[in-house]
Amino acid sequence: MMDFTAYLLLAILSCFGLLLCLILFSDGDLTLMLKEKFGVPLDSVKGKVYWVVGASSGIGKELSYQLAAHGAKLAISARREIELEKVKAGCLAVGKKAGLVDSDVLILPLDVTEVESHQEHFDSVLRHFGKLDVLINNSGRSQKAEFQKIDLRVDKDLFNTNVFGLVNLSRVVLPYFLAKAQGHIVVTSSVAGKLGAAFSATYNATKHALHGYFETARSELYTKGISITMICPGMVYSDILSACATENPEEQLGGKIGEDEKRMKTERCAKLCAVAIVNQLDEVWISLNPVLFFLYVCQYAPSLGRR
C-alpha cells in the first residue's frame, strides 16, 4: 500500500506532466488557450470602435481583418496610405457578412513619431465614430545588429518609434477613457520583451521599456476602469525584415523571411491577439515551441532558463 506522501508525490508529478504536455502542444500561454475555448466570443466586438495603429502589414493587418470579420468598426493607421487602402478593402470584404459598410472603416495615415499630430488624429476618430473603445498600439520596427556596433542614433530612433510614440498616443487617449471610466489599451510587445534575444539589443530594449511603462500604467489605472493588455508574440511570418533596422542610422536590412523558417502564421497569431483583447487579458504569450517553453522556464527559473 502506498502511503499518503507517495500518493501526493504521484499526483504532483502527474499534474506537472499534464501541464508540460499542454505547454508543448500549445501556441499560447495556458490562460489564453482556455479563453480561446471558453472565454468571451469574438462576436462581442460587433459595434465597438477599435483604433489599430500599425495596421498596414503583418499582425496589425491580420488583426484588423479578424476584428472586421466579427463586426467591429475600425480606424486603421500607419504611414503607408496605399497599403491602408488595401487593408480597408480587405476589412470590408471579410466584414460584409457582419454588416460592415464603407464608413465603418476609417483610414487615418499616421507617423507615430510625429507626436504633435496625435491629438488631431484622435479627434478625427471621435468625429467620425463618436467614440473609441479600444486603442491598439501595434506599430514598431525590428532590428538585426551586434550590440557593440550599434550607433546611439539608432537607439534613439527605435525608441521614438517603438516606445515614445505609443506612450504619447496612449496619454492623448487616456483623458477620454478616464472621463467615461472605461477604456482598453492594447500594446503589441514581443517575446523579446520577456527575454534578451541575441543581435537585436535596441529592439529588445524597446519592448522591455513598453512593459515598464504599461505595467506601471495598469497598476495606476486598474481601479479607474482602464484595462491594459500586453501581447507578446514570438516569430511570425510577416514582412518585418523590409524595414528592419541595423546598427547604422537610416539603414534598413531588407529581404524576406524564408518559407522554410519555423514561424507562426500571421493569421493564427492575429486570432489569438483578438482573443486576448476581447477577454481583456493582462499579458499573453503567443508563440510556437520551443520559444513558448523557454518563456515558462525563464519566468519560473530565470537563471536556469538563461543557461
* pLDDT for 173 beyond 90: yes
Please state the pTM of the whole predicted model: 0.92
* pLDDT tens digits, 255-272: 666 566 778 999 999 999
Confidence at 181, pLDDT banded by 50, 70, 90: very high
* pLDDT for 7 beyond 80: no
Confidence at 141, pLDDT banded by 50, 70, 90: confident
Q: Supply the DSSP symbol for 250.
A: T
28-300: which CATH architecture? 3-Layer(aba) Sandwich (3.40)
Residues paired with 227 in a beta bridge: 184
Considering the candidates 50, 65, 176, 203, report the single residue annotated as catalytic: 203
What Cα–Cα distance (Å) separates residue 185 from each residue in 177, 224, 237, 274, 280? 10, 13, 25, 13, 9
Q: Is 203 an annotated catalytic residue?
A: yes
Instruction: Give the residue with greater pLDDT, 266 vs 8.
Output: 266
What pLDDT shows up at residue 237? 75
What pLDDT shows up at residue 258? 57
What pLDDT shows up at residue 57? 92
Alpha helices in 113-241 (DSSP H): 118-129, 152-159, 165-179, 201-221
* pLDDT tens digits, 71-114: 999 999 999 999 999 999 999 999 999 999 999 999 999 999 99
